Amino acid sequence: MKVLVVNAGSSSLKYQVIEMNTETLLCKGGIERIGIEGSNLTQESGGKKYNVEKPLANHTEGFDLLIKCLTDKSVGGVLDDISEIEAVGHRVLHTGTDFDDSVLITPEALKILEKNAFLGPLHMPANIACVKSCMQVLPGVPNVAVFDTAFHTTMPAYAYMYAIPYEDYEQFKIRRYGFHGTSHKFVSQTAKKWLEDNGFASGRIVTCHLGNGSSITAVKDGKCVDTSMGMTPLEGVPMGTRSGDIDASVVEFLCNFKKMTVGEVITYLNKKSGFLGVSGVSSDSRNMLEEAHKGNERARLAADMFTYKVKKYIGSYAAAMGGLDCIVFTGGIGENSDEMREGIVKGLEFLGVELDKAENKKREKPPVREISTKASKVRVLIVPTNEELMIARDTRRIVKGE
Ligand code: ADP
């Protein structure tokens, strides 16, 4: 069974074709600058990379080009005919409060996605445009929505509620939802299996997805019980350009002192804060750490704020779950930065965490790598994430009715 995985961002569209009987990646690609001058598609297959430049006004035009390129051998297309695609899995940002799992996109389900578009004004219109294009270009092929928020729908109300007047939760759905759910689900499932296969406890796992955007999730007996992002991805730990948790009154101070509108403050908190805002150097953790090593104090401070906050989330989730069996690191920073990992777990010895420093420094990336010592009471693992494979697995499960 060949599954097309589609991941649409506000001006981008990434895709993969995966043969699901063997879970083999056949080809992958991406379109950038949709709706902006200079849009182009890159496609990779058989170890080669191809580039197609074409003006693309919107996601529908982008999707049409993608479909053509999949069967065009001169640009690395891997299909003889587009009918080889048996199902399409779409990464969709938001479930709202309507779904708790991935779902087959029927006309009714599509209406619900449209109703919830206001919850993700940057991503949801792009997600919906791709679903509609797919329905036109590949009639009869099932489309499955795999939601970024679905894994977090098992959170108890006391974890997802904000302590604001209850009727505003009821009327406007103001609550915490969490994001990166597909990644947290993939790495927690992978870690759980590894722990069970190796005879370790697996009931209380904290997954740390640390990249440009970062979130931490508490996974108890395979289910999410808390996560650090909230109504939007702004809440939680400091990120590349996001502030993370902040007292909401700061918004009023910024409006007064800097004569900003609320919208401008929200952009400032999402795009100008975090590593970039504190260090003044870069939103990229590598550049920031390089500067910190040269003695740049603000870069050091930004890095320390990050490791401190991730540590606090791990500690609070250990409290939420009544203990801790495993910490999982994933995402660009989680998978690659030994320095950040060491900074995060330092001080968690009281929970039984003992890092194997030599193992932590190694660069290999198997599906699971343990970086805790044999004596450690808590397993510390690196699990490279694979959101596309998780989407393809869910798509197959939903289509096959498993
Ligand atoms: P996104 O959230 O956009 O998917 P990624 O998961 O790709 O982001 O993570 C990007 C972050 O990962 C950047 O801060 C980058 O510096 C960091 N990163 C990527 N590769 C490495 C590496 N080899 N060493 C240290 N940090 C890395």
Between residues 381 and 120, the one the model is more confident about? 381
Ligand 1 atom 25, closest CA? 337
What Å distances lie between residue 124 and 9, 74, 90, 148, 165, CA to CA?
A: 9, 33, 11, 11, 27
Q: Are 129 and 58 in contact (CB under 8 A)?
A: yes
E strands along 119-250, which residues? 143-147, 204-210, 214-220, 223-227
pLDDT at 43 over 90: yes
Signed CA dihedral, 97, 103, 107, 113: sign only? positive
How close is the Cα of 306 to the center of ligand 1, in Å? 14
Q: Where are the alpha helices (DSSP H) in 44-116?
A: 59-70, 107-115
Instruction: Name which of 1, 4, 3, 7 is nearest 387 in CA terms.
Output: 7
Residues lining ligand 1, CB < 6 A? 211-213, 240, 284-286, 331-333, 336-337
**Which tens digit of pLDDT belongs to each residue from 235-258?**
999 999 999 999 999 999 999 999
pLDDT at 213 over 90: yes
Ligand 1 atom 3, closest CA? 212
pLDDT score for 12: 87
Ligand 1 atom 12, closest CA? 332
Q: Which listed residue (148, 226, 325, 394) is catalytic? A: 148
**How far is residue 389's CA from residue 189's CA, in Å, rounded to a whole number?**
13
Residue position matching structure tokens 């690395």: 76
Q: Are 202 and 188 in contact (CB under 8 A)?
A: no
**How far is residue 370's CA from residue 382's CA, in Å, rounded to a whole number?**
6
Instruction: Name which of 399, 387, 401 is nearest 93 in CA terms.
Output: 387
pLDDT score for 1: 93
Which residue out of 282, 306, 333 has the highest number of ligand 1 atoms within 8 Å of its CB and is therefore the one to mutate? 333
Question: What is the mean predicted confidence (pLDDT) over 100-126?
Answer: 93
pLDDT-based confidence at 402, cuts 50/70/90? confident
Backbone angles phi, psi at 16, to 5 degrees: -145, 150
Which residue out of 183, 271, 286 has the highest number of ligand 1 atoms within 8 Å of its CB and is therefore the one to mutate? 286
**How far is residue 163's CA from residue 158's CA, in Å, rounded to a whole number?**
9
Question: What is the mean predicted confidence (pLDDT) over 202-208?
Answer: 98
How close is the Cα of 48 to the center of ligand 1, in Å? 23
pLDDT score for 11: 83
- Nearest ligand 1 atom, CA 339: 25
pLDDT score for 123: 87
Question: What is the mean predicted confidence (pLDDT) over 31-53?
Answer: 93
Between residues 269 and 121, the one the model is more confident about? 269
Q: Which two tokens stand for residue 242?
A: 């996001």
E strands along 40-136, which residues? 40-45, 48-53, 85-92, 103-104
- Count Cβ atoms below 10 Å from residue 292 Cβ, excluding itself: 21
How close is the Cα of 331 to the center of ligand 1, in Å? 7
Tell me the CB-side half-sphere exposure of residue 197, using CA atoms within 13 A: 7
How close is the Cα of 7 to the center of ligand 1, in Å? 19
**Which tens digit of pLDDT belongs to each residue from 57-111?**
998 899 999 999 999 999 999 999 999 999 999 999 998 889 999 999 999 999 9
Q: What is the share, in percent, of the chain residues with pLDDT greater than 70?
A: 100
Residue 197 is among the residues annotated as catalytic for this protein? no
Which residue out of 237, 285, 342 has the highest number of ligand 1 atoms within 8 Å of its CB and is therefore the one to mutate? 285
**How far is residue 41's CA from residue 34's CA, in Å, rounded to a whole number?**
10
- Nearest ligand 1 atom, CA 209: 6
- Nearest ligand 1 atom, CA 337: 25
How close is the Cα of 143 to the center of ligand 1, in Å? 31
Q: Are 292 and 340 in contact (CB under 8 A)?
A: no
**Which tens digit of pLDDT belongs to each residue from 306-350?**
999 999 999 999 999 999 999 999 999 999 999 999 999 999 999
Q: Which residues of 353-389 are buried (b: 16+ CB within 10 A; e: fewer)?
A: bbbbeebbeeeeeeebbbbbeeebebbbbbbbbbbbb
Q: What angle do CA 108, 109, 113 make, to 5 degrees?
A: 120
Ligand 1 atom 20, closest CA? 332
- Nearest ligand 1 atom, CA 240: 14
**Strand, helix or coil at 330?**
strand
Question: What is the mean predicted confidence (pLDDT) over 120-143?
Answer: 91
Instruction: Name which of 311, 391, 296 is nearest 20 in CA terms.
Output: 391
**Which tens digit of pLDDT belongs to each residue from 133-147?**
999 889 999 999 999
Q: Where are the alpha helices (DSSP H) in 71-123?
A: 107-115
- Count Cβ atoms below 10 Å from residue 193 Cβ, excluding itself: 13
pLDDT score for 253: 97
Q: Supply the mean pLDDT for the chain.
A: 96
- Nearest ligand 1 atom, CA 211: 9
How close is the Cα of 363 to the center of ligand 1, in Å? 14
pLDDT-based confidence at 9, cuts 50/70/90? confident
Q: Are 188 and 335 in contact (CB under 8 A)?
A: no
Long-range Cβ contact pairs of 26-29 (< 8 A, separation 24 or more):
26/2, 26/78, 27/70, 27/76, 27/77, 27/78, 28/388, 29/66, 29/69
CA-based end-to-end distance of the chain? 15
